[in-house]
Structure 1
């Protein structure tokens, strides 16, 4: 420990350079993990609020809520299972100033899908809605009249709920009959008893019996089939894994170069009776100190950056995951130092000092 720290103090610039590079790598890893977590939340915010174990959809929908369509009577056939019906529509909503892609959820009042109000009141009349607070951040406010694409129906925001997104779109909650009128164009159309799915809560999904044309989908499987959800997460995870490898390679190259430069010094130390084990421990401790400093600085820089990011940036930091990634970065850096350890062990004291 003494030898490792003493050398760092005497060669500050070299090790500041290494720590600086590792700090930037750690910063990028932490930021990408926050981006992956934020994009994940954007897709599943509203679904997580259901606290459901499964959802019933049509088999032909390929586990997609917008593509599923069934009759309202299907919910009445379920026995002994807590359930809530849901209708869904993707559309564009606009007020006098801004517009946004939204996902409208038509639900029954007092069902477990009903959102909690943080501002305003719960909808009670036809064409009244409760919107996600992300729409408030985008420029919508209480009392706004929402013009919808492909329909002349107008909705009124009477309340806001906490952040709620479905497949990256802010959710607007309303009565089921309101959604049906917006979606099908009339209160008594032939489609007035159509819904998109039935959300269920049960400890045993296999015991739920449905019509042959329907299927019970486990909620995590339903989330994984959201468009782009799996692909986004996998892409960012692969980038993070590559950064782990890059970190190990950078540390290995830096330390190997430093070891070659100090070859004669290591030869003298070995000639004086200092063991390979002691020298190897010195390199490992040195690597740990330099990497730990870089990772900690990267962590602090990421947290500070997060404080100044606008709401439009989909970043959500999970500090436990960040700490785990920090530990992995330190571990792979130490693995990268093995090349230097091996080169130190192979040093012949006589050749190193020119004997």
Structure 2
């Protein structure tokens, strides 16, 4: 530890450069992770807030909930399997406020269920983002989809679907608005039961039926993976170059009886010191951004994500540094001394 720290103080510039690069890469990784999580919440918070269970959709809809319509026979079969099954529908729409300004949202309607807010005919419960825009309980809104107005009776926390805030309405209003008489989807927390002409999905699979969700998350996760790979390569290349320059020193140390494992410990110590300092700075900056980011920006960085990313950087840095140190094990004392003298 003492030897590693002395060398880092002697060659401050080279280790500062590496630390700065790791800081920037880890900050970028945390930022993209927060963005990926924020976009995931913004795209599918409605589904992610639901408990683990099974979703049912009409098979002929080809995994597009907008085209699904459950028949009476299918609903009866689902209720036979689970009397507490939740029937619900989701459709994109809009409403107008008192100033005739239009707002887009996803209308959600369900039968009697504890999963979604309960509403009476003529009532609507909207996502809290509308409260931040100045809406209040008791305000009335109108829609071109039906003649009567809807009264806001409450605000739901973090309920989004397909990058739009959600509005929960009574099934009577929903059926009138979309000229239908049945629900699109069913959800049950009971064991998965096959039903004729219905496709079933777990929570994760159902998320992938949401347009753009899978492609959006896959793109961002690929960027994060590449950043981890780049950080590992940086550690390997940096320590490899340093080790090449210190072959003569390693030879002398081996000649006086210093074990190879001790030299590896010195390199690992340097790697951990650089990584920990860089990560602490990156985590601090990312948390400040998380606190002061604009409310409309979909950024959501949790403590578990920070710990997971930090752990990944530590492991990748350890692997990269270890691979670069293979030459330490292979070096012969006299050969290294001669190379250092040359």
TM-score (normalised: structure 1) = 0.85
Aligned residues of 1:267 and 1:352 also touching (Cα < 8 A): no
- Structure with the largest fraction of helix: 2
Partners of 1:343 and 1:98 in 2: CA distance: 69
1:78-227 correspondence to structure 2 within 5 Å: 78-81=79-82, 82-95=84-97, 96=99, 99-108=102-111, 110-115=112-117, 123-124=119-120, 126-148=121-143, 153-184=148-179, 191=180, 193-202=181-190, 204-206=191-193, 210=195, 212-227=196-211
Aligned residues: 336
Counterpart pick for 1:333 among 301, 317, 322: 317
Partners of 1:47 and 1:335 in 2: CA distance: 38
Aligned residues of 2:66 and 2:184 also touching (Cα < 8 A): yes
Aligned residues of 1:93 and 1:148 also touching (Cα < 8 A): yes
> 1:113–1:281: structure 2 CA closer, same or farther, 3 Å change rule?
closer
Once the 2 structures are TM-superposed, how far is the Cα of residue 98 of structure 1 from its aligned partner?
5.2
Partners of 2:242 and 2:174 in 1: CA distance: 68
> 1:263–1:128: structure 2 CA closer, same or farther, 3 Å change rule?
same
Partners of 2:318 and 2:146 in 1: CA distance: 62
> 1:217–1:263: structure 2 CA closer, same or farther, 3 Å change rule?
closer
2:325 aligned counterpart, secondary structure:
helix
Aligned residues of 1:295 and 1:326 also touching (Cα < 8 A): yes
Partners of 1:216 and 1:340 in 2: CA distance: 49
For the aligned residue pairs, the C-alpha RMSD in angstroms reads 2.5
Q: Deviations over 1:107-136 (max 9, x none)?
A: 23x422332xxxxxx643x33201011222
> 1:270–1:76: structure 2 CA closer, same or farther, 3 Å change rule?
closer
Partners of 2:57 and 2:299 in 1: CA distance: 31
Query: Which residue number in structure 2 is paired with residue 188 of structure 1?
Result: none
| Greater displacement, 336-345 / 168-177 | 336-345
Query: Which residue number in structure 2 is paired with residue 346 of structure 1?
Result: 331
Which 5+ residue runs of structure 1 have no aligned equivalent? 116-121, 185-190
Once the 2 structures are TM-superposed, how far is the Cα of residue 280 of structure 1 from its aligned partner?
2.4
Once the 2 structures are TM-superposed, how far is the Cα of residue 173 of structure 1 from its aligned partner?
0.5
Once the 2 structures are TM-superposed, how far is the Cα of residue 339 of structure 1 from its aligned partner?
4.6
Query: Which residue number in structure 2 is paired with residue 241 of structure 1?
Result: 225
Which 5+ residue runs of structure 2 have no aligned equivalent? none
> 1:71–1:141: structure 2 CA closer, same or farther, 3 Å change rule?
farther
Counterpart pick for 1:255 among 231, 239, 254: 239
Partners of 1:74 and 1:265 in 2: CA distance: 77
Runs of 4+ in 1 over 6 A off after TM superposition: none
Q: Deviations over 1:8-62 (max 9, x none)?
A: 1222232222112111111111222222222222233222444251233211112
Query: Is 1:269 the equivalent of 2:253?
Result: yes
Aligned residues of 1:61 and 1:68 also touching (Cα < 8 A): yes
Partners of 2:15 and 2:64 in 1: CA distance: 53
Aligned residues of 1:97 and 1:139 also touching (Cα < 8 A): no
